[in-house]
Structure 1
Amino acid sequence: MASSTPLFLILFVILPIFMGRFSNAQLDTSLYAKSCPQLFPTIRGVVQTAIKKEARMGASLLRLHFHDCFVNGCDASNLLDDSPSFKSEKAATPNRNSARGFEVIDQIKSAVEKVCPGVVSCADILAITARDSVAILGGPAWDVKLGRKDSLTANFALANATNTIPAANASLSALLSSFQNHGLSTRDLVALYGAHTIGVARCTNFRQHIYQDKNIDPSFARSNQGRCPKNNGNGDNNLAPLDAQSPTKFDNTYFKTLLNKQAILHSDQELYNGGSTDALVRTYATNPHAFISDFTASIIKMGDIKPLTGSQGQIRKNCRRAN
């Protein structure tokens, strides 16, 4: 039997429901303008102090945002410590003895809670901190989309899976697959890997590349062998810059190192090794404006990966544990 209810009445009732669901899923750059007007200067002050104390910290904080979004979306799950009900992502292979900056996030959260308690999520703090780290080190600034909620649990198994967070020895096909699984394009891959213009790598992650790979400049390989002994277990935590030319400045020199086959990581050099990403690497190496523009667009896009919004998740009082 046909309904006698006028169509416009049905739409009047249904559309607000769907629009509500749609709007709950959206992130908004001005979300905290009234509820926490001191948010941005509060976070930036702590990040500036941390980077002034240790320039490497900027790369570490940026990396936390990346590793968060690639496991169940941008929900601050990687900040959670072990609990009786789950194992922390901090112990997963991509993070163990590598992910750092958690104490700085604690300081930021404490400072934010003083100016607007219970308002700003840890996931949003990670996104803002990543932006500030890049900008403080000479890179671009962008309007951060906000409104993420924090997860109540971590996912150690997913964080530890080989196709979730790209490994230091990953092939180009593995890199492309990982990024595609997260809704990110080839351009996003190359642009976001440009973040390796800052930071360092551990010997355990580049040992194979400098001793066994052929797609590396021989003199560059030899110069790094002194800091990374060939035998496993010796000097595993010794460090080398990802971009030896300007390791604490966010610029496009990382791509120039790829052209010279002087990437410290196998996965980095895979971006310029006769494959489908070579042209983008050449573009970014010669056109810093193209790199900055694409990096900004890609990191904003990455921040949109499966956020918890609306009634999902919570705003943690302490980033290390659920409320």
Structure 2
Amino acid sequence: MSTISKIKKPIDQDLKDFEPYFKKSLQSDVPLLATILNFLYRTKGKQLRPMFVFLSAKLHGDSNEYTKLAACSVELLHTATLVHDDVVDESYERRGSFSVKALWKNKLAVLVGDYILAKGLLLQLENKKYNFLHLISRAVQDMSEGEILQMKKSRKLDIDDETYFEIIRKKTASLIATSMAIGTASTTDDEELVEKMYRIGQDVGIAFQIKDDIFDYQAKGIIGKPIGNDIKEKKITLPLLHVLNSADRSERKRILRLVKHRNKNTKVVKELIQLVIARGGLEYAEARMNEFKNKAVSAIEEFPPSEARDSLVELMNYITTRRN
């Protein structure tokens, strides 16, 4: 049995029931929009966030129709942000396929992302789940702020550890935190418990993003084939930040100058990647990643033993050991 299959075991039926529910939510009577939505459904990823929703729900009770709604709300938001991100990042590829931006251009990509986001919000309103709406809206706000802060720092390159963690907490961790919180909110009215799960999810989400930052030095998760997309986009992430923090003033200036002015030069990008590897940037990032993951695991292990608890721990371990 694969790791993912083992993780899914306590929620296998929930995920099977979720598929047609999610597919139905990605529908429209407008033919062009329907085509794009169907394309997005066919190219969807592992759906890790719905897994966090269902496992968090099951940790505190029995999953129900509202849990399915919660998972759909999270996955719709995630899908919308990916479509928008490809426009912001000028990315032509997503999950080994063409992005919506590449196939249908920027204007349609922005409108499709807006449509998907609206679908999720309407689902919550139609079901009168105002607590879900609050959680999802907070995530939208955080993710937007995180993206804008990263764009600002990419222009000035004046990033430090505190700012880096603020960016990833808002941009990435907020959605995993929301997944765990909204799943919990579907099976309990205990607001303190919902917020506790949110905080645990933040730590998981930070670990998740650090893992992605490490991947940028190991192309598409394959060790030894660096691509440096973050460097090309002038994004200073934790592995490079570690090198900058340990460099003297003149070397720091030289590195920042290269990132700012020669970030498209393949030779320069390769040089910077090799510098990060040689100076222990990946080991440092991995150690910080495991700190956040271990903190989250310890918090989850405080709950009574159950299949859902064990699978949540496995899922947390998986996102820090995955190869893609």
Using the size of structure 1 for normalisation, the TM-score is 0.31
Q: TM-score, normalised by structure 2?
A: 0.31
Q: Which has the higher helix share?
A: 2
